[in-house]
């Protein structure tokens, strides 16, 4: 009868790594796209941010209409001071959209004229790319 040494024994449950997020790669890819989109917003380039949008937005708004909505949503916020990802979650359903692959991102942001702001982005995967399908600021 052989005894297991400490090196051979499995680690206690408390020391094991938490199970990996099965959608981490998708969430990270979507976040890269979201940061590009947000970069345009932060520099007041609302019309240029349209390049990051997908069919859910493009089916409803042209570039100029989209830019006007974003400008209105960001009015009075001032310059970005900080932004931190709160969470990212993968899902296959979002209200008002067809079933598909989506990532929801929540950011805590602080602007010169508006602190403690929550930015929510929804990105949809289509034709090999993650594209913005929703942006909300509270």
Query: Taking 60 as the threshold, does the pLDDT of residue 40 lie above it?
Result: yes
Q: Are strands 80-91 and 102-111 parallel, antiparallel or unpaired?
A: antiparallel
pLDDT digits (tens, 9 = 90+) for 46-90: 999 999 999 999 999 999 999 999 999 999 999 999 999 999 999
Strands (E), 62-113: 80-91, 102-111
Alpha carbon distance 27, 103 (integer Å): 6
Exposure of 29 by Cβ count < 10 A (0-12 exposed, 13-18 middle, 19+ buried)?
middle
Residue-wise pLDDT for 81-123, tens only, equals: 999 999 999 999 998 889 999 999 999 999 999 999 999 999 9
Is 3 or 90 the better-scoring residue by pLDDT?
90
> Which residue segments constitute the domains of the chain, with CATH numbers given?
22-137 (3.10.450.100)
Q: Which two tokens stand for residue 76?
A: 């009075």
């Amino acid at each position: 009868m052989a005894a297991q040494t400490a090196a051979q024994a499995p680690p206690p449950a408390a020391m094991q790594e938490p199970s990996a997020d099965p959608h981490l790669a998708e969430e990270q890819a979507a976040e890269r796209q979201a940061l590009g989109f947000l970069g345009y917003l932060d520099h007041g380039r609302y019309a240029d941010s349209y390049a990051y949008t997908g069919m859910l937005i493009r089916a409803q708004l042209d570039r100029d209409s989209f830019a006007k909505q974003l400008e209105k949503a960001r009015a009075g916020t001032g310059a970005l001071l900080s932004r931190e990802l709160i969470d990212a979650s993968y899902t296959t359903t979002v209200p008002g959209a067809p079933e598909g692959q989506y990532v929801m991102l929540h950011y805590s942001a602080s602007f010169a004229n508006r602190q403690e702001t929550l930015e929510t982005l929804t990105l949809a995967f289509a034709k090999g790319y993650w594209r913005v399908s929703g942006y909300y600021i509270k």
